[in-house]
Amino acid sequence: MALLKKLNEKANDFAEKQNKKVEELKEQREALIKKLQEEKRYIVLQIVLKESLIGTGSGNIYALENAINEQANRGYRLVNISTTIMHSQGIGGGDRIQAIATFEKEE
């Protein structure tokens, strides 16, 4: 009985150490990903704008505005934007505008 208890304790200690190692590796991975993202010189985003249900214009132009402002807050400036219109028909139709925006890290 004492031997079984001791083996169980050793197994639990081993599992605890392994869990700590896994958590440390996850933290290191997250830090590396964050560092790599911070070092990117360019970022390219795709934003799809949907036509308003009533009238004309984009129903979610704020999605584009928010994307631009978010990148500006991260230290990037908009250097290029191109658009393509995707025609849609049928129920819920309405055209879509696909915007591709390129941002450059400000130095």
Residues 55 and 106 in one domain: yes
* Residue-level pLDDT at 93: 62
**74-91 burial, b for 16+ CB within 10 Å, e for fewer?**
eebeeeeeeeeeeeeeee
Tell whether 33 and 82 lie within a shared domain: no
Which structural domain range is residue 1 located in? 1-39
Q: Identify the pLDDT of residue 69.
A: 95
> Could you tell me the sign of the dihedral formed by the alpha carbons of 58, 61, 67, 69, in that order?
positive
CA atoms within 13 A on the CB side of 60: 14
Do both 8 and 55 map to the same domain? no
16-42 per-residue burial string, b: 16 or more CB within 10 A, e: under 16: eeeeeeeeeeeeeeeeeeeeeeeeeee
Residues 27, 55 within the same domain: no
Residue 77 has pLDDT above 70, yes or no: yes
Task: Tell me the average pLDDT of the chain.
Answer: 84
